[in-house]
Amino acid sequence: MKIEAVELRRVRLPLVSPFRTSFGTQTVRDVLLVRVEGPDGEGWGECVAMSEPLYSYEFVDAAQAVIRDHLAPRLAALDDVTAHRVAPALGAVKGHPMAKAALEMAVLDCELRARGEPLGAFLGAVRDTVPSGVSVGIAGSIPELIDTVAAYLERGYMRVKLKIEPGWDVEPVRAVRERFGDDLLLQVDANTAYTLADARHLARLDAFDLLLIEQPLAEDDVAGHSVLSGKMKTPICLDESITSAAAAADAVGRGACSVVNIKAGRVGGYLEARRVHDVCAAHGVPVWCGGMLETGLGRAANLALAALPNFSLPGDISASDRYWHTDLTAPFVLEEGHIRVPTGPGLGVSPDPDVLAHATTSAEVVRLR
C-alpha cells in the first residue's frame, strides 16, 4: 500500500463535565485526528496526547509537529506501507509514542478496511462485548462524589475507579465503600501523586478491599513500586510506567506491579499494546484497557483491544455520553454494563461528516508523493 497523504485535523470537543485528576482539570479535549489516504481509501487514527504535558511529556501541538515534520516523511520512504512496517520505519525517532501510535492506527485502519477485516478479529478478539468501567474525577466534596458514583452505577457501570491525590484518598474511598457496599468493584488511580514516604498512609487503603491502586509513584520509579508492593496489600497496577512490552516485562519481573493498564497511545500503538497483553499473559498478570478521554474513533479501537483474552478486568472504556454531548462517531452505549465491540472493517466506525466539520478547528495535509 502506498500512502498518498496524511491529514492532521484538530477537533475541539467540550466534556459533559470537568474531569479532575491529581495533575489537573480537563474541561475540553483538543484532539488530533490523523487521516491517511491510501490507494483504495482512507484510514483514521486518534492521538491521545492532551493539550498540556501533564499526564506524560507528550502534548498535542508537539505530536502534530513531530508527525508532520518527522514521522509522515519516514512513511514516504517506504515502497509498501503496512501497519507492521510503521513502527520500524519510525524507530529512529526517539520517544513520541502517542504520535507514532496515531499514525500507525490510521495505517492499520486503512489496511484493514481495504481487505474487509475488523480490527478486533485482526488483534485476536475473543468476545463480542466488553464490560465497562468508569473513571471518576476528584470531586468538590464527598457528598458530590457519592452522587456522581450513584448516577454512574444507575447507568450500569460495572466497576468504579476513583481518582486520588494527597488529601483526597482514604476518606472518599471509605465513603464510597460504605455507601455502595462490599460488592462494588472499586479501584483508585493516583497518577504519580505520591512518594515512598507515603507508604504507611497508602497502606490505609488496604482496609477497603480495592481491586488495585494505579500508579501511586513517579513514572520512572519502578524500583519504588517494588518496595511499595511489599508495604501494602492492595495490588499495584502500573499505567504511566508501562511504555512498552519490554517495560512491562521488566516491571512485572521486578515485582513492581501485579496488574497492568494498557493504553495503545502510551506504548506506541495497537501492535505494541498487543505485545504488552501477550507478555503479561505469559506472566499470569491480568490487564485492562485504560482510557484517554477518546472520541468514538479511539474508543472503537480500545474496544477491539479489550476483547483480547487476558483483558480480565473491566477497563476505562465508558459510553460516549460519559464524555461527549455528541461523539464524532455513532455513540457507543451501555447495554447491561457492557459495550459492543465494532464488527465492521478496520475500526468499524467513521466520523460523522457534519459533527466532524462542526468540531474541526484546523486541518493540514502532508503530501507524501
Do residues 210 and 234 lie in contact, with contact meaning Cβ atoms separated by under 8 Å?
Answer: yes
Using CB under 5 A as the criterion, what x/- string covers residues 65-84 for binding Mg ion?
A: --------------------
Judged by DSSP in three states, 170 sits in: helix
From residue 227, give the alpha-carbon distance in Å to each of 167, 190, 231, 236, 250. Answer: 23, 17, 7, 11, 15
Catalytic residue among 2, 100, 163, 231: 163
294 binds Mg ion, rule: CB under 5 A: no
Asked if 316 touches Mg ion (CB under 5 A), the answer is no
Distances (CA, A) of 28 to 32, 66, 136, 157: 13, 23, 16, 23
Contact string 62-101 vs ligand SMG (x = CB under 6 A): ----------------------------------------
Strand order in the sheet with 186-189: 133-136, 159-163, 186-189, 213-214, 236-238, 259-262, 287-289
Among 189, 219, 272, 327, binds ligand SMG (CB under 6 A): 189
Known catalytic residue: 2?
A: no
Q: How is residue 312 written as a grid cell? A: 480480565
Residues 6+ apart with CB under 8 A from 177: 184, 186, 208, 209
Q: Does 8 bind ligand SMG (CB under 6 A)?
A: no
Of residues 52 and 335, the one with the C-beta less far from ligand SMG: 52
Taking phi over 0 as left and psi of -120 to 50 as alpha, with beta for the rest, 329 belongs to beta
| Span of 2-10, 229-237, 267-275, 286-294 interacting with ligand SMG by CB under 6 A | 286-294
For 224, list phi and psi in degrees, rounded to 5: -60, -40
Q: For residue 214, what are the contacts with CB-CB under 8 A and spacing of at least 6? A: 161, 187, 188, 189, 190, 191, 237, 238, 239, 261
Regarding 44 and contact with ligand SMG (CB under 6 A), the answer is no
251 with 224: CB under 8 angstroms?
Answer: no
Task: Answer with the entry of ligand SMG, Mg ion, none that 241 interacts with (C-beta below 5 to 8 A by kind).
Answer: none
Does 26 bind ligand SMG (CB under 6 A)? Our answer is: yes
DSSP 336: T
Number of residue whose CB is nearest ligand SMG:
291
Q: Give 3-state DSSP helix, strand, coil % of the chain, rounded to 5.
A: 40, 25, 40
Q: Does 132 bind ligand SMG (CB under 6 A)?
A: no
Give the binding range for ligand SMG (CB under 6 A) out of 59-67, 119-127, 178-186, 291-299. 291-299
Q: Is residue 231 flagged as an active site residue?
A: no
Nearer residue to Mg ion within complex by CB, 189 or 327 = 189
The 182-221 site mask, x for binding Mg ion (CB under 5 A), equals -------x------------------------x-------
Cell 497523504 sits on residue: 5
Nearest distance from residue 290's CB to Mg ion, in Å?
6
DSSP code at position 234? S
Output 108 or 262, the one with its CB closest to Mg ion: 262
3-state secondary structure 2-16: CCCEEEEEEEEEEEE
* 302 sits near ligand SMG (criterion: CB under 6 A): no
Residue 256 binding target from Mg ion, ligand SMG, none, CB below 5 to 8 Å by type:
none
When asked if residue 135 is in the footprint of ligand SMG (CB under 6 A), the reply is: yes
Residues found near Mg ion in the complex (CB under 5 A): 189, 214, 239
Residues designated catalytic:
163, 263
Positions touching ligand SMG (CB under 6 A) are 19, 21, 26, 50, 55, 135, 189, 191, 239, 290-293, 316, 318
